[in-house]
């Protein structure tokens, strides 16, 4: 991906998406600056997951375009129209967009280390030796160096999610997207995962985190976006959006989750 230095890490321009007659994204325009942490909050069904999935082209917008590092994702311009890229090209682009799911999605038949080395070996010209060295560094970073040879089922949910984060980092993504990374965890395991994400934030990785963890948003986010019914209703600093929301729908949502 040819990074344009002055381009935002992610730019979403006029994204619309419907499933059947249900309008799920109703014209989203967003720019995510490099090195920032954006937390997206909003009620269930407001389109948060669809928005994230649109960024890495797991969902194709009906109209509008997503750019990562200034490059259109999943499409190329063809005259004044957009043409879908071949699947291989989309996979290559997707490798630069880390995605951490609610349910970890680790490969159950692979060890922790194998989970982390798989993508760099498959998608990059990384040698197995280099990939393993990088994987060990990343596992250390998420506090799981000693679990390299364990299988996912032998780990707690919090540990599995930390492996999923290491796996996403192994491709050195331009941006890391988290879709409710702690929602499937027992309450006592939430903190260890949030701590790892906070650590990443401190190293300047560009993060977009969908979460209901308002405390985390307040502490770590540079920016909080409140979505409702497929639109960005409120967008600002954590203090502005969480403590002085200007929209009644934001206030109503916060009163229910706080």
- β-partners of residue 179 are 210
Residues between 186 and 215 with contacts to ligand ADP, criterion CB under 6 A: none
48 binds ligand ADP (CB under 6 A): yes
Residues between 14 and 53 with contacts to Mg ion, criterion CB under 5 A: 48-49
Q: Which partner from the list Mg ion, ligand ADP, none does 47 bind, CB cut-off 5 to 8 Å by kind?
A: ligand ADP
Cα torsion at 180, 5, 84, 225 (round to 10°)?
Answer: 30
Residue 83 burial (10 A CB sphere; 0-12, 13-18, 19+) = exposed
Beta-sheet strand order (sheet of 71-72): 22-32, 10-19, 63-68, 71-72
What number of CA atoms fall less than 13 Å from residue 125's CA on the CB side? 0
Looking at beta carbons only, is 97 or 155 nearer to ligand ADP?
Answer: 97
* Contact yes or no for 171/119 (Cβ under 8 A): yes
Q: Which partner from the list Mg ion, ligand ADP, none does 107 bind, CB cut-off 5 to 8 Å by kind?
A: none
96 binds ligand ADP (CB under 6 A): no
Looking at beta carbons only, is 69 or 180 nearer to Mg ion?
Answer: 180
Q: Which stretch, 46-54, 74-82, 163-171, 234-242, contacts ligand ADP (CB under 6 A)? A: 46-54
Looking at beta carbons only, is 53 or 251 nearer to ligand ADP?
Answer: 53
List phi, psi (to 5°) of 34: -60, 140
Looking at beta carbons only, is 30 or 112 nearer to Mg ion?
Answer: 30
* Contact yes or no for 24/64 (Cβ under 8 A): no
Residue ranges in contact with ligand ADP by CB under 6 A? 19, 24, 42, 44-50
Q: Summarize as ranges the residues that interact with Mg ion (CB under 5 A).
A: 48-49
């Amino acid at each position: 991906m040819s990074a344009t230095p002055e381009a935002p890490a992610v730019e979403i321009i006029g994204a619309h998406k419907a499933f059947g007659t249900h309008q799920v994204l109703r014209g989203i325009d967003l720019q995510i600056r490099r090195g920032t942490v954006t937390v997206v909050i909003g009620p269930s069904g407001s389109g948060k997951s669809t928005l994230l999935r649109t960024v890495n082209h797991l969902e194709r917008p009906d109209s509008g375009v997503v750019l990562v590092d200034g490059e259109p994702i999943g499409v190329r311009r063809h005259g004044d129209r957009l043409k879908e890229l071949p699947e291989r090209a989309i996979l290559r682009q997707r490798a630069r967009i880390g995605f951490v799911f609610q349910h970890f999605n680790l490969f159950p038949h692979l060890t922790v280390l194998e989970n982390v080395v798989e993508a760099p070996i498959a998608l990059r010209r990384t040698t197995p030796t280099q990939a393993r060295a990088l994987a060990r560094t990343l596992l250390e970073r998420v506090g799981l160096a000693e679990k390299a040879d364990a299988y996912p089922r032998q780990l707690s949910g919090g540990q599995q999610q930390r492996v999923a984060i290491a796996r996403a980092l192994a491709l050195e993504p331009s941006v890391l997207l988290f879709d409710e990374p702690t929602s499937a965890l027992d309450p006592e395991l939430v903190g260890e995962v949030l701590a790892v994400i906070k650590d990443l934030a401190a190293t300047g990785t560009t993060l977009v985190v969908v979460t209901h963890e308002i405390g985390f948003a307040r502490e770590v986010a540079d920016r909080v976006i409140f979505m409702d019914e497929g639109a960005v209703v409120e967008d600002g600093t954590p203090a502005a959006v969480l403590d002085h929301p200007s929209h009644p729908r934001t206030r109503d949502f916060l009163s229910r989750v706080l």
